[in-house]
Every structure is written in structure tokens, then in C-alpha cells.
């Protein structure tokens, strides 16, 4: 990710500026713009983590410490780290984002080549979108305008979405952008041109109706083009670039997030979205040529807790709906599904029956449990006992996974009446199946495993592992004590970073020790300028653990002795867990 860079681009801001920036961007206020914080535990607030799928809130925000930490995936940090993760920004870009939010002027800073490259790509995409829009209005756009007329897309709607036309020419965009001062390599990096066999360049999008993809901040990040004539894929999307990842963005979410409807209408195609918005359903969005991803679902969950699926009324669309339901329900979103009879997709339905009929369709949409039960029933002949049993087994598995006991009982009674069996029998079978599922889940997660609990919760992507958990416990203790009691930096017994068994802990310790020795402040935000995102998360997880400070110097000595004992043990080739068990009680009395 872009915020994994190191060096001058992360340390360009003075501590005084970062501290003021943090003070003027309260972490609860900032996080609340993305996560619904409700449940309280002590002074901390909890919500569903925006960085991984979960049903039980494990994402904690501390107003006192101005940090966040997810006990599920391990991610954590301060307000700058949060914006880096949630908006996929570099450290300087996140600082600029928060400075703009707080109406602060950025100080002079060193060059950030990656940030400048991203800014240049955004500007190039904007110029390309303007070029395509102008082409739509020119003679070269006649074919595109005719297609829009056939699909009933008005001029006002085209303007609202910034629709355009890629002319039927090999290098029209390439020439226009070069005149604007952009190089062929910049166009290539943005996915706007391709390299020909003879060494020249040609436009990626040709003879297509163009849909600019705009992120929630209003920036053009890529394009989707619908073919007008000739051969080629029906829809062509921009490739992955520095600013565009199709699995993390949704078409038209920049418009849908402003809707007052209270729900997001999830459809399959760009034309469906355009037609829905034109008909007054302004919360419609679509994924970009892929099935719904977990990242897209989390993006949706920032803006609503209700989703209505309006996928195509064919086999592929129904399968896609089932996959989407499974992803969305993990975020505890309320999901309903439209059943469109007499039309293959929302665009065709509205054209045949009108917006009022579609509004009634939304009102009568099925909740996801009813929809899935109906889909299961279609697979079986319930007049045949063998198939009835297969049907009940599949139903039991579905209902056993529903979190609400009331919901499970209501549907059990309905299904029991449908197949003429005792409701108590089905309720009992579902309860037994649920117990087995919960046991299997607990076993898979390895709850209570000493090895698991001794390892850092550092996120699902490339998780950190401690080679010597016994030493790592003490290394974490040294870091925690120095952070909480900066005066301990004066100790002449502090170990060298090279004595740490964990390179990640060694680097955190080195940065922390250097800053304290120089008399600088330490916080998750200022340290975020020198640490990697995963290291900031690890630091915050360390700070979540209790530490008795009544005899901090003695605790520090004990931790240091443990580190050095473990190092000698490693050098002798002993099993790292042997001494860990011997000294575990001694270490735990300090935590």
C-alpha cells in the first residue's frame, strides 16, 4: 500500500505541527465519519472494524489516549494512521487531509515523489475525463449520442455522471494529453495508453461510451468504457494503477453517498446505475467488473446499514446475489433482495414498467433470509421425501448461522408447516447444528492457545510472528515502560536494539529510544512518521496491555534480564519455550 514508504516523506513535518494537527482532529470525531461508534467499555468506544469483516464489535477508540485498536485484526494507531489506512493515503497525504479538515496550513516540507506522482495522475485523469466529455459533444461523439438516445440517457444525466466518448481513433487521447504536457509514460502508468508492437503508443479506450470512475473524495481515479461498434469486450475498465483499485471502489458511490434514501441499491452494471439515478433512485452503485468484494462491502458500510441487491434476473445474477449476501451479512448490514419478474435487469424493468413500479418492488423486497430460503426451495421437489430431507438439511445449516434466536424460531416454524413436520423437531435440529458450527469456529480460531496468545495481533495481511515469544514478552514490556515512563530513558542498563529477538520490536524500540534521548515527544501519531503501518499497529497493541508503574525501574530491570537470558539461551540453542515457562510468573506480576 502507498503508506508503506519510509524516509523523508514521512518525517517532513515538525512535531509541533503534528501535535497541533492531532489536537484539532479528535480521533472520535474523525473515526465517527467512517465507523458507527456506540458500545462503551469504560472510557473506550466500540464499533465494527472497517478493516476486516466481523459481526461483534472489536474496534476500540480511546478518547483519552487518542488511539484506535482492533482486537480482531490487530490494526491500530492514532488519527493519522487511521486516515492512512481508511483512505489508502501516504503519511504526508494523510497529514494534508487532516490539515484541510482542520483548516490548517501545511508547513514547508521535503518533496514526496510518490505523493506528487499520485497528484499528477489525478490531474491527468481529470483532463482525460474532460477530453472524453468534449468528444461526446463533438461530431466524433455521434455514435455515442445515438447509443445514449437508444438507452434513454438524457443530457442532464450524462452531465451528472460526466459521461464521455472515446473516439474511434488510435491515438486521439494520447495526442491531446501530450499537448497538455503529459508524457507517454505518465499516460501508460494511468492505464490510458498501451505500447504497440512497433514501439509506439495507442489509446486504451477507443470507440466507447466512457464512464469516469470517481472516488468518494470526488477525484477521477479511472474509467469504464462500453463498446459502441466493432469487436472487443463489452465493457473495458482501467487497469490497476497507483490511484485505482477496482476491488476497493464502487461506481457512482460519490453520488450515492449523498442520497437520503437510507439504503444503498447495489446493481451489476454502469448502465443500470445511470438509469436508476435518472429514474430518481439516487443511491444506486455498481462494482467495477467484479463480484462484490469485502473491501467494497466495508466501503458501503461507512454510509449505510441497509443494502438492497438489484442484480440481473438470471442464473449468474442470482449466484452473484448469494455471494454478495454472504459478504454483506458479515458486516451486520440489513440486506434485502429485489425479485424482478418480466425484466432481466433494473434498466429494462424501469423502461417497461416505470419508476413507480420499481419503487413498489423495493417496498416489497425480501430480506436476505427469505430470499435464500426461496432459492433453496427451488432446488428440491418437496413432494419427494428424500428431496425433502435434503432440503431440510440445507435449511438447517442456513438458519443455524442466523444470529437472532427469534429469527431462527420464526423461520423454523414457517418451514416446519411447509413440510408438515413438528416445529420443535426442526428447532432442535437447528440448535444442534448451531452448537456444532460454534464449536468448529472456536476450534478454527484456536481460542485459548498459549502459542496464539503469545503472538502479536498485527492484522490478517502478512502477520508478524515472534520467533521467541518469551523474549518478545519482555521486549514489549521495555517498549511499554519507556512509552509510559519516558524518564526511564536515563537507565544505563537499556539494551541495544540488536539484543531484541523480534526485528519489528527492535525497530520500534530504536525509534522510541532515539526520540526520547533527543527530548522529543512520543505518541502514536508522531511515531507514525517513522514507523511502518504494521509497526504502529503493533505498538498500539502493546500499549493496550496493562503495566504496573509503581516500581517501574525494577520492572524494567526484570524485562532486560529476561531479554538477555533469552539471548544467551538462543545462542546455546535451547528451546525458546523452556525458559519462558520458568519465568512466566515473574514477568506476569508486572503486567
Domain spans in the chain, listed from the N-terminal domain onward? 2-111, 113-244, 245-364, 379-445, 452-588
CB–CB of 560/495 below 8 Å? yes
What pLDDT does residue 172 have? 97
Mean pLDDT of 489-509: 91
State which CATH number among 3.20.20.70, 3.30.420.40, 3.20.20.140, 3.90.580.10 fits the domain covering 2-111.
Answer: 3.90.580.10
Q: Which of 174-183, 237-246, 341-350 reaches the highest mean pLDDT?
A: 174-183
Whether the Cβ atoms of residue 132 and residue 103 lie closer than 8 Å to each other: no
Per-residue pLDDT tens over the stretch 419-471 = 999 999 999 999 999 998 888 766 654 443 333 445 565 444 445 678 888 89
Distance between start and end Cα atoms, the chain: 34
Percent of the chain, pLDDT > 70? 89
Residue 345, pLDDT score: 93
Calculate ∠ Cα 155-248-372, nearest 5°: 90
Q: What does the pLDDT read at residue 187?
A: 97
pLDDT at 179: 97
Q: Is 68 helix (H, G, I), strand (E, B) or coil?
A: strand
Confidence of residue 539 (pLDDT cuts 50, 70, 90): very high
Lowest mean pLDDT across 201-215, 230-244, 326-340, 570-584: 570-584
pLDDT at 143 over 50: yes
State the Cα–Cα distance between residues 2 and 240, nearest whole angstrom. 13
Confidence of residue 339 (pLDDT cuts 50, 70, 90): confident
Distances (CA, A) of 272 to 266, 285, 344, 366: 10, 9, 11, 20
Per the listing, cell 503469545 goes with 454
In this prediction, residue 29 carries a pLDDT of 92
Report the pLDDT averaged over residues 193-198: 91
Categorize the per-residue pLDDT at 534 as very low, low, confident or very high, splitting at 50, 70 and 90.
Answer: confident
Average pLDDT over residues 554-567: 92
Could you identify the residue written with the cell 474496534? Answer: 59
| β-sheet bridge partners, residue 47 | 59
Band (583; pLDDT cuts 50, 70, 90): low
On whether the 113-244 domain is CATH 3.90.980.10, my answer is yes
Q: At what angle do helices 469-484 and 533-544 cross, to 10 degrees?
A: 80
Given this model, what pLDDT does residue 448 score?
38
Determine whether domain 452-588 maps to CATH 1.10.860: yes
Arithmetic mean of pLDDT over the chain: 86
User: Considering the chain, what percentage of its residues have pLDDT values greater than 90?
Assistant: 50
- Model confidence over 5-43: pLDDT tens digits? 333 345 568 887 888 899 899 999 999 999 989 867 777
Q: Quick one: pLDDT band at residue 578, thresholds 50, 70, 90?
A: low
Q: How confident is the model at residue 213 (pLDDT cuts 50, 70, 90)?
A: very high
Residue 282: which pLDDT band, with cuts at 50, 70 and 90?
Answer: very high
Q: Are residues 220 and 126 in contact, defined by beta-carbon separation less than 8 angstroms?
A: yes
- pTM for the full predicted model: 0.62
* DSSP 8-state code for residue 105: P
HSE, side-chain direction, 13 A CA sphere, residue 423: 10
pLDDT category, 374, cuts 50, 70, 90?
confident
For 34, the grid coordinates are 467512517
Q: How many CB atoms lie within 10 A of CB 4?
A: 12
Specify whether the CB–CB gap between 549 and 485 falls below 8 A. Answer: yes
Phi, psi of 27 (to 5 degrees): -65, -35
- Dihedrals phi, psi of 310, to nearest 5 degrees: -125, 60
Average pLDDT of span 543-547: 81
Once rounded to an integer, what is the mean pLDDT over residues 387-411?
A: 89
Alpha-carbon distance 77 to 61, whole Å?
10
**DSSP string for 485-534:** -GGGGG-TTPPPGGG-S-HHHHHHHHHHHHHHHTT----HHHHTTTS-HH
Distance CA 525, CA 91 (A): 10
Instruction: Examine the pLDDT at 397 and tell me if it is beyond 80.
Output: yes
Average pLDDT over residues 138-162: 96
Which one is the CATH code of 245-364: 3.20.20.220, 3.40.1360.10, 3.40.50.10860, 3.40.50.10330?
3.40.1360.10
The per-residue pLDDT for 584 is 55
Least confident of 159-168, 340-349, 360-369, 572-581: 572-581
Compute the chain's Rg from CA coordinates: 28
Amino acid at each position: 500500500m502507498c503508506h508503506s514508504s519510509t524516509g523523508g516523506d514521512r518525517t517532513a513535518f515538525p512535531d509541533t505541527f503534528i501535535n497541533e494537527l492531532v489536537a484539532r482532529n479528535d480521533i472520535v470525531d474523525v473515526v465517527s465519519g467512517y465507523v458507527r461508534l456506540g458500545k462503551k467499555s469504560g472510557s473506550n468506544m466500540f464499533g465494527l472494524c472497517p478493516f476486516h469483516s466481523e459481526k461483534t464489535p472489536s474496534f476500540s477508540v480511546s478518547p483519552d489516549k487518542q488511539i484506535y485498536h482492533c482486537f480482531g485484526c490487530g490494526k491500530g494507531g492514532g488519527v493519522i494512521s487511521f486516515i492512512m489506512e481508511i483512505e489508502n493515503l501516504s503519511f504526508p497525504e494523510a497529514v494534508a487531509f487532516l490539515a484541510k479538515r482542520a483548516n490548517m496550513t501545511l508547513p514547508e516540507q521535503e518533496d514526496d515523489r510518490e505523493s506528487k506522482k499520485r497528484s499528477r495522475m489525478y490531474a491527468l485523469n481529470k483532463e482525460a475525463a474532460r477530453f472524453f466529455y468534449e468528444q461526446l459533444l463533438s461530431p466524433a461523439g455521434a455514435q455515442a449520442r445515438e447509443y445514449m438516445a437508444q438507452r434513454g440517457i438524457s443530457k442532464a444525466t450524462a452531465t451528472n455522471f460526466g459521461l464521455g466518448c472515446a473516439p474511434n481513433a488510435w491515438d486521439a487521447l494520447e495526442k491531446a494529453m501530450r499537448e497538455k504536457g503529459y508524457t507517454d509514460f505518465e499516460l501508460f502508468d494511468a492505464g490510458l495508453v498501451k505500447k504497440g508492437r512497433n514501439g509506439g503508443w495507442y489509446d486504451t479506450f477507443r470507440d466507447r461510451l466512457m464512464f469516469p470512475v470517481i472516488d468518494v473524495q470526488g477525484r477521477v481515479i479511472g474509467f469504464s468504457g462500453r463498446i459502441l461498434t466493432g469487436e472487443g469486450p463489452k465493457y473495458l475498465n482501467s487497469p490497476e494503477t497507483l490511484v485505482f483499485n477496482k476491488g476497493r471502489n464502487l461506481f457512482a458511490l460519490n453520488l450515492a453517498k449523498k442520497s437520503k434514501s437510507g439504503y444503498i441499491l447495489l446493481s451489476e452494471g454502469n448502465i443500470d446505475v445511470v438509469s436508476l439515478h435518472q429514474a430518481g433512485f439516487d443511491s444506486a452503485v455498481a462494482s467495477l467488473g467484479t463480484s462484490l468484494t469485502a473491501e467494497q462491502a466495508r466501503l458501503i458500510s461507512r454510509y449505510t446499514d441497509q443494502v438492497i441487491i438489484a442484480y440481473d434476473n438470471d442464473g449468474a445474477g442470482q449466484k452473484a446475489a448469494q455471494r454478495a449476501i454472504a459478504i454483506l451479512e458479515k458486516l451486520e448490514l440489513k440486506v434485502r433482495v429485489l425479485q424482478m419478474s418480466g425484466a432481466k435487469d433494473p434498466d429494462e424493468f424501469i423502461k417497461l414498467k416505470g419508476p413507480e413500479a420499481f419503487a413498489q418492488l423495493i417496498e416489497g423486497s425480501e430480506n436476505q433470509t427469505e430470499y435464500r430460503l426461496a432459492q433453496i426451495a427451488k432446488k428440491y421437489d418437496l413432494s419427494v421425501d428424500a428431496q425433502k430431507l435434503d432440503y431440510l438439511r440445507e435449511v438447517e445449516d442456513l438458519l443455524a448461522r442466523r444470529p437472532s434466536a427469534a429469527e431462527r424460531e420464526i423461520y423454523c416454524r414457517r418451514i416446519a408447516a411447509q413440510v408438515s413436520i413438528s416445529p420443535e423437531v426442526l428447532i432442535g435440529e437447528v440448535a444442534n447444528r448451531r452448537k456444532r458450527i460454534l464449536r468448529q469456529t472456536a476450534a478454527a480460531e484456536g481460542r485459548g492457545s498459549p502459542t496464539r496468545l503469545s503472538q502479536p495481533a498485527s492484522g490478517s495481511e502478512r502477520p508478524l510472528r515472534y520467533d521467541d515469544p518469551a523474549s518478545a514478552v519482555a521486549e514489549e514490556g521495555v517498549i511499554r515502560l519507556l512509552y509510559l515512563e519516558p524518564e526511564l530513558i536515563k537507565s544505563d542498563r537499556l539494551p541495544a536494539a540488536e539484543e531484541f529477538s523480534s526485528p519489528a520490536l527492535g525497530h520500534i524500540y530504536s525509534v522510541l529510544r532515539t526520540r526520547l534521548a533527543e527530548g522529543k515527544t512520543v505518541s502514536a501519531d508522531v511515531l507514525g512518521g517513522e514507523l511502518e503501518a504494521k509497526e504502529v499497529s503493533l505498538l498500539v497493541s502493546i500499549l493496550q496491555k496493562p503495566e504496573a508503574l509503581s516500581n517501574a525501574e525494577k520492572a524494567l530491570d526484570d524485562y532486560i534480564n529476561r531479554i538477555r537470558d533469552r539471548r544467551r539461551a538462543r545462542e546455546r540453542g535451547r528451546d525458546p519455550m523452556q525458559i519462558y515457562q520458568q519465568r512466566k510468573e515473574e514477568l506476569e506480576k508486572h503486567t
